[in-house]
Amino acid sequence: MTGQDAVVVPSLYPAPSSLATVRSLGRAGVRTIAVGSSETMPPFASKYCDEAYRAPAPGDDIERYGDVLLKLAARDDVVTVVPLREADVYVLSTRRDEFAEHVATPWPDYDTVESVQDGLRLVDIARDAGVAVPETVSLDEWDGWDGPAAVKSRYSILVEDGETFYPGVELLDAGETPDRDAITEQMRHVPIVQEFIPGDDEVGFFAMFDHGEPVATFQHRRIRSYTYKGGASVYREAIDDPDLEAAGLSLLKALDWHGPAMVEFKRDERDGSYTLIEINPRFWGSLQLAVHAGVDFPYHYYRVATGDPAEPTFDYDVGTASHVLRGELIYLTSLLTADDGPVDPPSLRTEIPAVLRSFVEQPNFDYLSLDDPMPFATDMWLTLEAVLP
């Protein structure tokens, strides 16, 4: 490390992973260039952000967004770019050769990205690797409406005419059938249907790989999400489960993985197996938890990019947990608007004390930091702007 190296960090909100990356690299003495579409991005307010650079939102014009990243990558001081969302992965993988002319490219190639972002292809790969998967078929072929199911986009991201789309997921009760034509039109392609896996245990296996070999791994269990039905986590804890590690490593090694990856599983309460949900070929929203627990993934990424990998990190502080304060409030609010569905909401009477107790027992936060307070203040201001008339 020269002390002059710079890393480009795409900034997204409200996911806190870009802030975790800026803080991690800044504390290690690496210069950071945060890139975002708004002047009020929390990472821009961090004392560890050396430069704040405006760019078009990738959802509006992904080609221009990619051009901005490539322009920054061409600078002499920049050593790499960090993939933090699906649009970043799309740009970096599809234009990998262009970026490789200027910076290190410690992320998967496009063929690998395409294979894991296609829900039908992914289940075939997982089966071959011996990893459990839910029954998954095209909407046109599904006839199992007697049980609960999830209709979801076949692809993690859709790009049409320079715009990006994230079609989402629709949960259906047993006996409920969707309007096939309407949902196909809404999602802009024929989606897939997956059987609903019973159980509340949602876990993740996280890794940084260097050409097929892991240099850092981590696991967490989701405790609360933005809503009781799911979504991004707002409270999670570090765990260590050999079965989860075996499943995650088996799948990523089968793919000869290179770069960061999040492998999401759900434990099937019927037999205890870990069933694959998805692979994200990038860093993940709860990245700060791993850093709190002792696995500094952004620094590992930087070291791989510079050709000088750090000592592998496979041990960490199990039981460490971290909160997104704004997300905890949104979670409690979701209990007030609960409706019928395959997931029963917990009682607000029990959840409010549970949330408050966890603040005392695990005072670790994704945004809040006494060492770097301004991003949290920015997050709170943006939250108030969103909820106040």
pLDDT (tens place) for every residue of the chain, 389 residues total: 545 899 999 998 888 999 999 999 999 999 999 999 998 999 999 999 999 999 999 988 999 999 999 999 999 999 999 999 999 999 999 999 999 999 999 999 999 999 999 999 999 999 999 999 999 999 999 987 888 999 999 999 998 877 888 878 888 888 888 899 999 999 999 999 999 999 889 999 999 999 999 999 999 999 999 988 888 899 999 999 999 999 999 999 999 999 999 999 999 999 999 999 999 999 999 999 999 999 999 999 999 999 999 999 999 999 999 999 999 999 999 998 877 666 788 899 999 999 999 999 999 999 999 999 999 999 999 988 877 66
- pLDDT at 257 (0 to 100): 98
At position 186, the amino acid (one-letter code) is Q
Considering the four listed CATH numbers 3.30.1360.40, 1.20.1090.10, 3.30.470.20, 3.30.1490.20, the one that applies to the domain covering 202-387 is 3.30.470.20
Q: Which strand ranges, in their side-by-side order, compose the sheet holding 51-54?
A: 51-54, 31-36, 6-10, 78-81
Rounded CA-CA distance 143/162 in Å is 35
Rounded CA-CA distance 82/112 in Å is 17
- Cα dist from 360 to 11, 91, 292, 294, 363, whole Å: 30, 41, 16, 20, 6
Answer yes or no: are the C-beta atoms of 306 and 104 closer than 8 Å.
yes
The token pair that represents 137 in the structure block: 């078929």
At position 220, the amino acid (one-letter code) is H
Rounded CA-CA distance 221/362 in Å is 14
> Which architecture, in CATH terms, is 6-114?
3-Layer(aba) Sandwich (3.40)
Q: Encode pLDDT of 308-363 as tens digits.
A: 999 999 999 999 999 999 999 999 999 988 776 667 888 999 999 999 999 999 99
At position 378, the amino acid (one-letter code) is T
- pLDDT at 205 (0 to 100): 98
Domain ranges of the chain: 6-114, 135-195, 202-387
- pLDDT at 389 (0 to 100): 61
Angle, alpha carbons 275-355-350 (nearest 5°): 90
Cβ neighbours, 10 Å, residue 36: 21
Strands (E), 55-162: 78-81, 136-138, 149-152, 158-160
Q: Could you give the count of Cα atoms lying within 13 Å of 209 in the half-sphere of its Cβ?
A: 25
Residue 102 Cα to chain centre, angstroms: 26
The token pair that represents 81 in the structure block: 């770019």
Query: Counting Cβ atoms within 10 Å, is residue 311 exposed (0-12), middle (13-18) or buried (19+)?
Result: exposed
Q: Encode pLDDT of 57-103 as tens digits.
A: 998 899 999 999 999 999 999 999 999 999 999 999 999 999 999 99
- pLDDT at 342 (0 to 100): 65
Q: Where does 255-371 have alpha helices with state H?
A: 287-293, 297-305, 325-336, 348-361
Closest by CA position to 344, among listed 135, 199, 139, 132:
199
Rounded CA-CA distance 12/344 in Å is 31
- Cα dist from 193 to 157, 196, 298, whole Å: 17, 9, 35
Rounded CA-CA distance 309/290 in Å is 18
The single-letter DSSP state of residue 330 is H
- pLDDT at 340 (0 to 100): 65
At position 331, the amino acid (one-letter code) is Y
- pLDDT at 139 (0 to 100): 95
State the DSSP H helix or E strand holding residue 219, giving kind and residue range, or none if neither. Answer: strand 213-227
Rounded CA-CA distance 71/55 in Å is 11
Tokens 């262009």 correspond to 98
Rounded CA-CA distance 132/126 in Å is 7
The token pair that represents 89 in the structure block: 């992965």
Answer yes or no: are the C-beta atoms of 36 and 103 closer than 8 Å.
no
